[in-house]
Amino acid sequence: MWGIMKHKLGARGLSTPVFGDYMQRLRPIASAIRFRPYSSATKQMTVRDALNSALDEEMAADSDVFIMGEEVGEYQGAYKISKGLLDKYGPDRVVDTPITEAGFTGIGVGAAYHGLKPVIEFMTFNFAMQAIDHIINSAAKTNYMSAGKINVPIVFRGPNGPAAGVGAQHSQCYGAWYGSVPGLKVLVPYSSEDARGLLKAAIRDPDPVVFLENELLYGESFPVSAEALDSSFSLPIGKAKIEREGKDVTITAFSKMVGYALKAAEILEKDGINAEVINLRSIRPLDRATINASVRKTNRLVTVEEGFSQHGVGAEVCATVVEDSFGYLDAPVERIAGADVPTPYAANLERLAFPQIEDVVRAAKRACFRSVPMAANA
Amino acid sequence: MASSCFSKSKTIIMRNLKSKNFFMLGFINHTYSITNLQFPRHLLHTISSPPLPVSNYASSSPYNYSIAFSRCFASVYGGRRLNTATSVRNSVDQLSTEAPLQQDLDFPGGRVKFTPKPVFTSSSTEERTPCYRVLNDNGQPILDGDSVKISKELAVKMYTNMVTLQVMDTIFYEAQRQGRISFYLTTIGEEAINIASAAALNYNDFVFPQYREPGVLLWRGFTLQDFADQCFGNKNDNGKGRQMPIHYGSRKHNYFTVASTVGTQIPHAVGAAYSLKMEKQDACTVTYFGDGGSSTGDFHAALNFAAVMEVPVIFFCRNNGWAISTPINDQLRSDGIVVRGKAYGVPSIRVDGNDALAIYSAVHKARKMAIEEQTPVLIEALTYRAGHHSTSDDSTKYRPVDEIERWRGDQNPLKRFRKWIETKGWWSDEAESEHRNGIRKQLSQAIQAAERVEKPPISDIFNDVYDIPSKNLTEQEAFLRRTIQKHAQDYPSNVPM
């Protein structure tokens, strides 16, 4: 908002009165892109390149956007997401920081208060716990506490959830934590198109956005349409995507688990079960409408996530469906989640601590036939 | 052989010391090394500018050679500032033919001299950083002082605002005791800090307060009615009744909304200063915090970062001796907060927080430095929290009543400043009572009015969470309205729909 204020009003900066809603309406609405039937020359793009190109284009379009984090500059990004950006935009807009998540998050929030649009990178969201006071108390709540006078157009992004063999303090999923905070928007891209569209939307959004990526997805390639490659492309925040249509059971998932759910759906197809896979894309706001419409169609629900089950995203999806579509459920909701343990390191143990494709398949079968007894609950 | 080298180098040292352009090597004798290791405290601030003339801040003769050493110390920082490195290198070359032992070590971060004696810097200092003041206890200017001259108009405006702040605090505190507002927090004893610092800033310098700085907002034009409306949380409240009393904020006055979190405003100020730097604005940010706030992780990260990023921010620490019931000696063991600035490479000054003119001058100079040199500056104002921490506190439980009385009485900042303006003929007893009565009247009217105004409407529960309300919020609001209509008896009647 302040970025636009400055451009309209010149160098008078903060001493100008707030024009509030009037100005906000003039901002390009990110969700205006409607899907037109383009003939898509299916180009393949890795999630890494998708994120990098999205950052590049948004920084080129708006000089208030800048990146801050550890290793984002000279090192080209801990996961090379910000590759080439330091050379292109200079150290003022790609800022390497000392090791203090609390420090650089607080500083980023302060810059956002004043009108810049920071994209704060956490090397993983595990480290963001050091900064969570700033994310929640200084960013999420400020627009409300300041009675709408100070908005915080900031994006917090980085890898979330388990990678491979990185142990307990590098593997936690924070979707449920941030998803419970009013004032935040929480996005969870899966494919490259998701990554591009949602990151662009996040950067343009006047509210604070937590953008949870996945380290193992960075190197994965997905087809992207010509429309998605356009620099004005963005996806609406708060809309889930139906990755695969089906009529027998709804499987909701986000991030890497979408891939697992799709593979599980292929296996289920062979057994005559037609699964509908929903890619949540947005944990907050949660697309309750799409989830419920799907369950009203299929009458069965399986939720999949890598995070811990208690108070998890699946719990919220389940509650949503029970509240809105109880009469439509033909089976109890199946919740597939990570084991309730700090992540072990040994590869065999780690594999057992997180959902695998077979777990999703078995859960869907239980929801459909209830032929296999459900696991005992504590 | 060794001893002759030793004595030769000693002569060289002594000769060069007289010419005042040579660094005192630590290993010559033990006493020298201790001295050397102690003086960094008085020395250089930051690498981003030429050394300040430290004489303003140094106390007395033992450290006069600090100016000379400051040039040499610049080389320690290597990297960006190499202009003084050559002077050291020349001196070293001069020596190398005679005493090959003396060389710089070249580590990342710059060149350092080495010493073969494992001497630790002392944890406590014999002499603390001196405190800048302009007026003595009797309100008379100290001879040979150096301060910014202020006009009669400005001086009277400063004094009247200090009185207004004091009266406002007393009356709102009483209102809380009477149960009319739920909470209040006074600034008693720190009126000079509030008003004088605000007076030295421009209105476009963005302020990030802790919570004991409403005087800055008062100076900038927040009215007594505005203060009252926030404390009562009514529908005229600038903050839409969202926060507890004293959590004032005003975008119009460039005063960031008070948050309850301690110390979080410090890195925010740095980030906002970064934004100012990018925009090349002729403004700085100012952030206030207490001695307690300087213990937070945020303080350290912010100072460190600000020095690295070279941003125009003034860190103003109100060292009032108490963090609720924690006295300063349980809070820290360094020489107050001023020395921490030097640890991070931030120019710093200690100021008498009860001396309005000293604060005015210090902030005035700090602002100029921050903007012109694009550097952070740290100001530690020594003062006393003469009131309780808040209305939830009774400080007589943990500190002696006579100590509180002393600071409220003779030592209070209004008394000293009043003596000065009266000596100048700018103020009188009549003016004092007229002003005080006027403010008291205004305040009681403001409070009565604020009490009568409606509370904010229901829609203010749900807006501003996001820029545009999310679907679930709109649904929740609709649900709440339906429920209130259906079960009106379960809901308060004074909340406008």
Q: What is the pLDDT along chain B (497 residues), one digit of tens a residue?
A: 444 444 444 444 445 444 444 444 433 344 433 334 443 444 334 344 444 444 444 344 444 444 433 343 333 343 344 334 444 444 444 444 555 556 788 999 999 999 999 989 888 777 899 999 999 999 999 998 899 999 999 999 999 999 999 999 999 999 999 999 999 999 999 999 999 999 999 999 999 999 999 999 999 999 999 999 999 999 999 999 999 999 999 999 999 999 999 999 999 999 999 999 999 999 999 999 999 999 999 999 999 999 999 999 999 999 999 999 999 999 999 999 999 999 999 999 999 999 999 999 999 999 999 999 999 999 999 999 999 999 999 999 999 999 999 999 988 999 999 999 999 999 999 999 999 999 999 999 999 999 999 999 999 999 999 999 999 999 999 999 999 999 999 988 877 88
Which of B237, B257, B276 comes nearest A150 by C-beta?
B257
C-beta separation of A45 from A222 below 8 A:
yes
Q: Which tokens belong to A217?
A: 């997805």
Query: Residues B92-110: pLDDT tens digits?
Result: 444 445 555 567 889 999 9
Confidence of residue A374 (pLDDT cuts 50, 70, 90): low
Minimal CA separation from A99 to chain B, in Å: 9
Question: Are the C-beta atoms of residues B372 and B341 closer than 8 Å to each other?
Answer: no
Any CB–CB contact under 8 A between A28 and chain B?
Answer: no
B215 closest CA partner among B201, B194, B199, B229: B194
What Å distances lie between residue A228 and A187, A188, A189, A241, B33, CA to CA? Answer: 18, 17, 14, 15, 67
What is the average pLDDT score of chain B? Answer: 84
Q: Is B256–A97 a contact, with Cβ atoms under 8 angstroms apart?
A: no
Q: Which residues of A touch B470 (CB under 8 A)?
A: 238, 285
Which parts of A208-316 are beta strand (E)?
209-213, 221-224, 241-244, 249-253, 275-279, 282-284, 301-308
Q: What is the pLDDT of residues B194-219, one digit of tens each?
A: 999 999 999 999 999 999 999 999 99
Question: Residue B52 has which token pair?
Answer: 């300040």
Find chain A residues with C-beta within 8 A of B261's C-beta. 133, 137-138
Catalytic, out of A70, A121, A134, A170: A170
Cα four-point dihedral sign A115, A119, A123, A124: positive
CA gap A249, B217 in Å, rounded: 60
State the count of interchain CB pairs (< 8 A) between A and B.
Answer: 171
Residue that the structure tokens 């360094």 belong to: B334
Point out the residue among A108, A133, A147 whose CB comes nearest to the CB of B242.
Answer: A147
What's the pLDDT tens digit per position in B51-69?
444 444 434 444 444 443 3
Is B174 an annotated catalytic residue?
yes
> Any catalytic annotation for residue B190?
no
- ∠ CA(B280), CA(B284), CA(B286), 5° rounding? 155
By the 10 Å C-beta count (0-12 exposed, 13-18 middle, 19+ buried), A74 is classed as exposed
Spell out the residues 6+ positions from residue B127 whose beta carbon is closer than 8 angstroms to its own: B59
**How high is the ipTM of this complex?**
0.81
What does the pLDDT look like over B250-274, one tens digit per residue? 999 999 999 999 999 999 999 999 9
β A155-159/A209-213 pair status? parallel
Task: Find the catalytic residue in B182, B260, B325, B428.
Answer: B260
Average the pLDDT over each of A15-19, A49-53, A88-92, A193-197 and give the range with the smallest value. Answer: A15-19
Number of alpha carbons in the 13 Å side-chain half-sphere of residue B260: 11
Angle at B432 between CA B428 and CA B436, to 5 degrees: 175
How many Å apart are CA A314 and CA A311, to the nearest integer?
Answer: 8
| Omega before residue A285 within 30° of 0, cis | yes
Contact B203 A103 (CB under 8 A): no
Touching B: A residues 52-71, CB under 8 Å: 66
Interface of A with B in 289-348 (CB under 8 A): 289
Residues facing residue B289 across a β-bridge: B317
Q: Give contacts of A 180-199 with B, CB under 8 A.
A: 182-183, 185
In chain A, which residues have their Cβ closer than 8 Å to the Cβ of B281?
11, 13
Q: Which residues contact B205 (CB under 8 A, 6 or more apart)?
A: B254, B283, B284, B285, B286, B367
Going by C-alpha positions, the residue among B417, B416, B427, B497 that lies closest to residue B460 is B497
Task: For chain B, say whether A133 makes contact (Cβ under 8 Å).
Answer: yes
* Alpha-carbon gap, residue B426 to B70, rounded angstroms: 43
H runs (alpha helix) in B58-183 = 66-76, 85-96, 152-177
Sign, CA torsion A48/A53/A56/A57: negative
Q: Do A207 and B467 touch (CB under 8 A)?
A: yes
3-class secondary structure, A242: strand
Please pick, among B33, B197, B294, B390, the residue that the annotation labels catalytic: B390
Distance CA B182, CA B48 (A): 48
**Cβ A158 vs Cβ A195: under 8 Å:** no
Question: CA-to-CA distance for B55 and B66, rounded, in angstroms?
Answer: 9
Q: Token pair of A172, please?
A: 């936690």
Give the predicted TM-score (pTM) of the model. 0.81
